[in-house]
Amino acid sequence: MRIRTVRTASGKYSLQIVSKYHGKLTVHKHIGTYENGREKHILLEKARQYIQHVSAQTDILDYLSAVRLQDIIITESKPLFAYQLFSRVYDAIGFSSYHDDIIKDLVIARLYYPASKLETQEILHDCFGKSYALKTIYRHLKKSMESGIKDRYQNALIQFTKNTLHDNLKLVFYDVTTLFFESQVKSELKDFGFSKDHRPGDTQIVIGLVVTKAGFPLYFDIFTGNTFEGHTFTGVVETIRQLLGTQTLVVVADSAMISVDNMDTLDEKGVGFIVGARVANLPLPLVKTISKRLKKQDGAMITASYQGYRLICQYSQTRAAQDKSQREKQLERAQDVIQNPSRATRAYRFLKKKGQARYQQ
């Protein structure tokens, strides 16, 4: 129970005793009305006495005023509000269509504190008072994968996006990241590859994620750790198009996804795409033509044709200054390696290795 103050039509204030359960507000008693501080003080005292008499609920401020802070010992603390919040979000999205409370608790624990399955078992017990044997956790995880939980979750995400977020799902974004394991043992999925986590000594998997224009996730897929991210593009796009049931899909991705084969495949399937491109990878005559047309005017934008596709090019003075600074630093490193070949530790831009310990620009 708590005290609520409500302004009345006459301009006075009404003091009530209320409680709230599952979003429903209940008024237990109307204490009275006041219009000045003295009357308010009297009504507040009556309200506190009523709450204590009816519910034996003590005002925490009264309790704390009677004890010293150093005498208070916290014996247990559980983030139950976080559990309730994540639980309601889980249900609202539609994940509860897969009926398994253990899987739900594992998802909530993972959101609260990402950790291994063994640590997640401890988090569920210590933070949320949920005790599951590790063997039980493994059994439910295996069963969920065999039952197609991934498809159910993704369908729930798509339906939630359509019905609640009111997105027509004609524009989506795709990107790839890596997830490393503190292990050097390869398996069916775990392998060594280009690590976005800067952990080249650990095995990893590659994850492709499709999101809406607002960043809400729709679909994900997992690939072996040595998969080149550009090779994931067309397959994921075709799958998400089938899931969405749309023929007018447009996909936005970064420059790692661009290749003539990828663009041709999407074009044949009638899928629109916007992908980042590196001007430096274009033929030199085309680069010179683009540079001449932009005239180094900040914000200037032109279109050009390449391999049958439209290039949209824009000039940015800030980016140009940044690129120039990076080129100058790389040239300085190259000069230093030419003069001191023993300092060479890797491949350098603007340098070619000539002989055992010689380099040239």
Same domain? 192 vs 253: yes
Q: What is the 3-state secondary structure (H, E, C) of 267-293?
A: HHHCCEEEECCCHHHCCHHHHHHHHHH
Same domain? 209 vs 252: yes
Same domain? 33 vs 87: no
Same domain? 84 vs 65: no
Same domain? 232 vs 208: yes
Residue-wise pLDDT for 19-78, tens only, equals 887 778 888 899 999 988 888 889 988 988 888 888 776 666 666 666 777 777 777 778
DSSP class of residue 182 equals S
- pTM: predicted TM-score of the whole model, two decimal places: 0.68
Q: Is residue 311 part of a domain?
A: no
Cα within 13 Å of Cα(330), Cβ side: 13
pLDDT at 121: 93
Q: Is residue 218 part of a domain?
A: yes
Ranges of residues in the chain with a pLDDT under 70 are 57-66, 343-348, 350-361
Spatial distance between the Cα atoms of 343 and 339, rounded to a whole number of angstroms: 9
Please, which residues have CB within 8 angstroms of residue 129's CB and are 6 or more apart in sequence? 78
pLDDT at 212: 94
Q: Is residue 304 part of a domain?
A: no
Please, which residues have CB within 8 angstroms of residue 261's CB and are 6 or more apart in sequence? none
Same domain? 331 vs 261: no
Spatial distance between the Cα atoms of 278 and 318, rounded to a whole number of angstroms: 17
Same domain? 260 vs 341: no
Number of domains the chain contains:
4
Same domain? 255 vs 347: no
Is residue 44 helix, strand or coil?
Answer: helix
Please state at what angle helix 80-93 crosses helix 101-112, rounded to 10 degrees: 120
Q: Is residue 158 part of a domain?
A: no
Same domain? 261 vs 191: yes
The domain in which residue 198 lies consists of: 168-276
